[in-house]
Structure 1
Amino acid sequence: MTPAYQFDTVTLLITHYNRSQSLERLLKAFVKQEISFGDIVVSDDGSKPEHITYLQAIAPQYGFRLITTPKNKGLGNNINKGQDAVKTPLTLYVQEDFNPFPGYGKHLQDAVSIMDERKDMDIVRFYAYFKYPYLKPYRDGYSEMVFKIWYPGHRKFHCYSDHPHLRRSNFFEKFGRYREGLKGDRTEFLMALSFLKHVGKGMFYEDYKGLFDQVNSSDEPSTMTRSDFRTSTNPLVSFVRMIYRNVKHTYELITYKN
């Protein structure tokens, strides 16, 4: 039986760490929506033996290649080794704790067609914690992200994110590899700086909470933690944080070197 959406030029790349049930939930969602890929790569970051055993058991059922490492080496290494295993022109990158909403196949189809017609596009983003502040409408709900260093606000620096996105598989050739040995947030932001420094271009789906859900169950909670300063909703703290980030990010971008 032919799936409703067949993406032969796309590899689904999933990064995983100690959340094998969450990963299977993600794979089941794609199967239920009849979304098929040219390849599926699961990059594991040194999970506990029981999770590795489970992944090895379900790999034939879902048709994924499991890339492992003997010990935990952090987010940067996990994405690097996973991306190295990709052989198709495009990569759909999704962390294991996300779940596509029904109807995602059509939106991914639109994104692939945009990448095909816009050879200058490096990524298409499907999810975010906040709407990118400067957008130029394109089509099918997607808008091009516009970055100018003099635009106000610190959120303009987040053109790139580790949240679900479609990207060209030669991403490293233009932007370099992910920094290893750092905390996940820092690894992600340094890639965002590299993306801007090398004049990366991307699309952003404006209904940014309408395509994926981030699911953290009590059985498999999130492994990411953030400081109180980063997450505080106190108005004064939020204002100070905004000013601080804008100045800091501007300096970091100007002085950034690969």
Structure 2
Amino acid sequence: MPSYPDISLLVTHYNRSKSLERLLSALEQLDLKFHEIVVSDDGSNAEHQAYITALQLRYEFSLVKAPINRGLGNNINKGQQYIKTPFTLYIQEDFVPKPLLAEKLTLSRQMMLADASIDFVRYYGYYSYPYVKPAEHGFNEMVFKHWKLWQHYHKYYYYSDHPHLRRSNFLERFGKYAEGVNPERAEYKMMMQVLANKPKALIYHDINALLTQVNDDEEPSTFKRNFLRNNNHFLSVAARALYRYLRFNSELLAFKIKRKVYGRSLV
């Protein structure tokens, strides 16, 4: 029975209570024991609120509510501020852990205890990070390089809201998530805030081995991505690459200037 008295599980939720139940059930089946499970709800509708209340009796988690929907940035901020343990395992409600997660969570926690400079350890991604160097236990250290700017804009996605273990001082270290913006923008700004503050992070080499993301017909994703950002037509790809090249570098420079002025990147 893996037990983590210094780790709290933070789950962000919005109108997907059956998905939340699936995640909590899967974690129970893996017999993972955390100091606390915190569910941060973003003003779900009455039907899902009622279901969450029933789940709370079954799984004994702390529920951090919002009177209205305020977006992913606010939902993560208020949930993270509730955490009291040194480490936070962050998972959105539409993920399901695989059996190997228990072993790799234990090992990544050990690595973070041994090396205080590691800020977070990632367990999932849509694609592999382009620049890495081997670490231990199947993990790689992500390396942010300024050269080869044109070919590898994916290197900017050093940080992601996908499942990861992080130190609970994350908001103090990198600044709060942007609020009042859509989820993509909130994640993008946090990505820049993280890079501007010179992070150190690991990612598991097999990005599909530890968790899977489930968006089914019963509870589809509550967020729709911009089609133009994901269209694979060659003209769209070329225009997107040029746009990202200019935007990513100019915005990262702006966040670095903020860091020098204010001591850290601010939203």
TM range, smaller chain: over 0.9
Q: State the alpha-carbon separation in 2 of the partners of residues 249 and 186 from structure 1.
A: 13
Name the structure 2 match of 1:86: 83
Partner of 2:214: 215
> Any unmatched runs of 5+ in structure 1?
none
- 1:244 aligned partner: 243
Q: Residue 120 of structure 1 aligns with which residue? A: 117
| Secondary structure of 1:218's aligned partner | coil
1:192-225: CA deviation from partner (whole Å, max 9, x where unpaired): 1000101111001110111111001111100111
Percent identity over paired residues: 46
* Residue 88 (structure 1) shift: 0.5
Superposition pairs for residues 11-160 of structure 1, below 5 Å?
11-152=8-149, 153-160=152-159
**How far 1:237 sits from its partner (Å)?**
1.8
Task: Please list the CA deviations of residues 133-154 of structure 1 after superposition, one character each: whole Å capped at 9, or x if unmatched.
Answer: 0001001110111012224321
2:100 touches 2:209 (CA, 8 Å); kept in 1? no
What amino acid maps onto 2:4 in structure 1? F
Cα displacement (A) at 1:58: 1.6
Q: C-alpha root-mean-square deviation of aligned residues, in Å?
A: 1.0
Q: How many residues align?
A: 255
Is contact 1:149–1:250 with CA below 8 Å preserved after alignment? no
Deviations along 1:142-169, one digit per CA (max 9) or x if unpaired, are 0111012224321111110000000000
* Matching residue of 2:160: 161
2: distance between equivalents of 1:35 and 1:234? 44
In the aligned structure 1, how far is the partner of 2:161 from the partner of 2:194? 12
SS in 1 for 2:181: coil
Gaps of 5+ in 2: 259-265
Q: Does the 8 A contact of 1:97 with 1:214 survive in 2?
A: yes
Which amino acid is 1:55 matched to? I
TM-score (norm 1): 0.96
Letter in 2 for 1:185: E
Partner of 2:232 in structure 1?
233
Q: Give yes or no for contact 2:43–2:69 (8 Å, CA) kept in 1.
A: yes
- Paired letter, 1:30: L
Please give the secondary structure, in 2, of the residue aligned with 1:207. Answer: coil
- What is the CA distance between 1:118 and its match in structure 2? 1.2
| Secondary structure at the counterpart of residue 139 of structure 1 | coil
Q: Distance in 2 between matches of 1:99 and 1:37?
A: 17
Range 113-122 or range 241-250, more displaced: 241-250
Query: Retained in 1: the 8 A contact 2:7–2:34?
Result: yes
Residue 185 of structure 1 deviates from its aligned partner by 0.3
Q: Distance in 2 between matches of 1:219 and 1:96?
A: 14
Deviation at 1:235, TM superposition (A): 2.8
